[in-house]
Chains A and B, each alone.
Chain A
Amino acid sequence: QDKIKVGLILTLSGPAAALGQQARAAFEMALKDLGGKLGGREVELVVADDELKPDVAVTKVKGLIDRDKVDVVVGPTFSNILGAIAKPVTDAKVFLISPNAGPSPLAGKGCSPFFFATSYQNDQVHQVSGKVAQSRGYKTLYLLAPNYQAGKDAIAGVKRDYKGQIVEESYVPLNTLDFQSELAKIAAAKPDAVFTFMPGGMGVNLIKQYKQAGLADRIPLLSSFTVDESTLPAQGDAALGMFAGSNWAPDLDNPQNKAFVAAYVAQQKAVPATYAFQAYDAALLLDGALKATGGKTDDKEALRAAFLKADFTSLRGAFKFSRNGFPVQDFYLTKVGKRPDGKLETQIVEKVFSDYVDSYLPECSIK
């Protein structure tokens, strides 16, 4: 048998490259741990950088499919890129495995038999915070997100399970540097808790300034994609004690995960975030499915069935796929803490949802 070709398309350059870098490192680690083979076949990995530009991404995946003749595409990092490449890839009847982005259209009306996500449906992560705010009995909640689609989705996600009073729904421009005025509003509103979704550098700025303004000790901060292992090194101790929703954390207690985190830290000199773990799982998923088909990729039906079975040991423990290709899994509340080696990481506080199914599944027409 000749090699199986895997196309990996991620945002690897430009300002937002950190997440893609983690994913690639982890995916490559997984291949190594699997002995350079998936389902018993040698692997040839073709990596492409989507530059976070939709039209570039489309050309790149066409290159992967057409020029490099990859058997499966893994990627991308961001939802808007996924929106652009999902159709060309699945139209070409190539399987697309998303190691991070999980936008609602692909879970619902736009679901495809050729699509699987090893991550989650985006809303689910935000729902964790809403559920926690509700169950902890916070009477008032202050919501803060950047003014773009993902920010709006985040706030919608939180509101789904939270029934208390929302004192403010504040949207800041994308790439806001200075949160001073938001912090002043929060201090004036005195909510029981704040929820925020502030990915990347914005999260770093917010957390540092939140701490500097003296709010960290007074008002608990719930979040998604704001404090994770990709931003913690920059946030430093200012992030200690902040909460986040997640489907995984580095300290999740199972042997595979412990080994993975230790190996990753040793190799990358940094603690892995979900982007890394999900990419690692993507490789495991491929391996499991290909084992089931005996390494064959021609029979798409069989391959899909093999994927759906999710017959591998995920770093997050057991999980299944819904028919829309999204996982049914547990979600946790995490909190930033210190590892024995002094590095920061998110640590599991409690399980918030068990075997949680995303809410768009009913809209998906696939049987």
Chain B
Amino acid sequence: MARRLRREWLPLGLFLALALVPVLAPLGPQSFILSLMTRIVVVALAALSLDLLIGKGGLVSFGHAACLGIGAYAVGILSAEGVTDGGAHLAVAIAAAAFFALATGAVAMRTDGVHFIMITLAFGQMLYFLATALSAYGGDDGITLPGRSTVLGRDVLASDTVLYLAALGALLAAYLLLRRIAASRFGRVLEGARDNPVRMEAIGFRPFRFRLAAYLISAMIAAVAGVLLANQTGFVSPATMAWQRSGELIFIVVLGGLGSLHGAILGAIAFILAEELLSHWSEHWRIVFGPLLILAVLFARGGLAGLLTKGARP
């Protein structure tokens, strides 16, 4: 137990700290803190889902923001059409993301390495341009949501605290689920296919199926993040799906520490907080932020998670 605690202190600490946010927020500018933290948690959720692909599957998707966008647009379009029920939003978002993942995954999985990066970028961009062409829903100016998603007809998410807790709950659930998956038979095969697909085929696994399944799971989780993001922002636009957004998610995953899952959460916190604090400090914050990233790569092997747990690994 003690050993386990030693190994697990980082994820435990992370979630504890996140759980304390609503308690501590009223001491400061509450709505701002909650808004910022909700964004962090949502981005962490998206990054977490991407870590399954990159860290475990070796599949660097450069179009992951598209899934985020699908979630957001599910809320945007349904709300614009008068459907405000959160359950409906989630269902549509997840179904649409699953469809997108199956359709594009079947093609993308034919390639690997850099080609996979580029083909996912291509699909992400197609979706992005599709969204900009949706004149009925604001085109690339996007649409403002009339309000947040309702739950069973009640407006519970209108409270920033409730929205934050919902996001945190989703993050925790996804984290536990993905941890199980990573340690399961399925996860083992996925990792094996990352390291040596030919060997995997030679012992009787078809990497394609496992990768596609991982892609599907990841896309659906990202779509949930998209639903939450739309609710947090109160606004949906193609900017959510821009390739820079996909890039940012990759950076967060790598920065946090590939394949460790909690690293993705850590990465999201570090990335967004650094951005927020630095940009508050100076408009030229990027002149510091860039070198910070470089230093992080050069000196923190295994990302932030690796840096923090270096001593604790048995």
Across the interface, which residues of A come within 8 angstroms of B290, CB to CB?
Answer: none
B31 at the interface (CB under 8 A from A): yes
Across the interface, which residues of A come within 8 angstroms of B31, CB to CB?
Answer: 62, 65-66
Most A Cβ at <10 Å: residue of B138, B229, B235, B280 = B235
- Is A83 a contact of B35 with CB atoms below 8 Å? no
Q: In the complex, what distance in Å separates the CA atom of A231 from the CA atom of B310? A: 52
Binds B, one of A48-56, A129-137, A243-251, A319-327: A48-56
Across the interface, which residues of B come within 8 angstroms of A62, CB to CB?
Answer: 31-32, 35-36
Given that A49-B283, A83-B138, A149-B138 are known contacts, is A110 also in contact with B144, CB under 8 Å in the complex?
Answer: yes
Q: In the complex, what distance in Å separates the CA atom of A79 from the CA atom of B140? A: 10
From B29, B140, B142, B145, give the contact of A63 (CB < 8 A): B29
- Is B240 a contact of A55 with CB atoms below 8 Å? yes
User: A160 to nearest B CB, angstroms?
Assistant: 17
B39 at the interface (CB under 8 A from A): yes
A144 at the interface (CB under 8 A from B): no
* Chain A residues bordering chain B, tally (CB within 8 A): 35
Given that A13-B283, A80-B237, A84-B237 are known contacts, is A67 also in contact with B28, CB under 8 Å in the complex?
Answer: yes
- Is A58 a contact of B234 with CB atoms below 8 Å? yes
User: B89 to nearest A CB, angstroms?
Assistant: 17
What 0/1 readout, one digit per residue, does chain B (231-264) give for beta carbons within 8 Å of chain A?
A: 0111101011000000000000000000000000
A152 at the interface (CB under 8 A from B): yes
A199 at the interface (CB under 8 A from B): no
Closest chain B residue, CB of each to CB of A67: B29
Which of chain A's residues 326-345 have a Cβ closer than 8 Å to chain B?
A: none
B135 at the interface (CB under 8 A from A): yes
Across the interface, which residues of A come within 8 angstroms of B140, CB to CB?
Answer: 80, 148-149, 174
A359 at the interface (CB under 8 A from B): no
- Is B283 a contact of A84 with CB atoms below 8 Å? no
Across the interface, which residues of A come within 8 angstroms of B201, CB to CB?
Answer: none
Across the interface, which residues of B come within 8 angstroms of A291, CB to CB?
Answer: none
What 0/1 readout, one digit per residue, does chain B (33-48) give for beta carbons within 8 Å of chain A?
A: 1011001000000000
Which secondary structure dominates chain B's binding surface?
helix
Closest chain B residue, CB of each to CB of A58: B233
A193 at the interface (CB under 8 A from B): no
User: B141 to nearest A CB, angstroms?
Assistant: 4
- Is A152 a contact of B139 with CB atoms below 8 Å? yes
Across the interface, which residues of B come within 8 angstroms of A51, CB to CB?
Answer: 279
A59 at the interface (CB under 8 A from B): yes
Closest chain A residue, CB of each to CB of B145: A87
A88 at the interface (CB under 8 A from B): yes
- Is B229 a contact of A55 with CB atoms below 8 Å? yes
- Is B233 a contact of A66 with CB atoms below 8 Å? no
- Is B144 a contact of A83 with CB atoms below 8 Å? yes
User: A70 to nearest B CB, angstroms?
Assistant: 11
- Is A103 a contact of B141 with CB atoms below 8 Å? yes
Which of chain A's residues 31-79 have a Cβ closer than 8 Å to chain B?
A: 47-49, 51-55, 58-59, 62-63, 65-69, 79
- Report which B residues bind A (CB closer than 8 A): 28-33, 35-36, 39, 132, 135, 138-145, 229, 232-235, 237, 239-240, 276, 279-280, 283, 285-286
Q: List 19 A-B contacts (CB under 8 A).
A: A49-B279, A53-B239, A58-B232, A62-B32, A62-B35, A63-B29, A63-B36, A63-B280, A66-B29, A66-B32, A67-B29, A67-B33, A83-B143, A84-B144, A84-B237, A88-B234, A105-B144, A148-B139, A150-B141
Q: Other than the known A13-B279, A62-B36, A105-B144, what 13 A-B pairs have Cβ atoms closer than 8 Å?
A: A12-B283, A47-B283, A54-B240, A63-B32, A65-B31, A66-B32, A67-B29, A80-B237, A80-B239, A83-B144, A103-B141, A149-B141, A152-B135
- Report which A residues bind B (CB closer than 8 A): 12-13, 47-49, 51-55, 58-59, 62-63, 65-69, 79-80, 83-84, 86-88, 103, 105, 110, 147-150, 152, 174
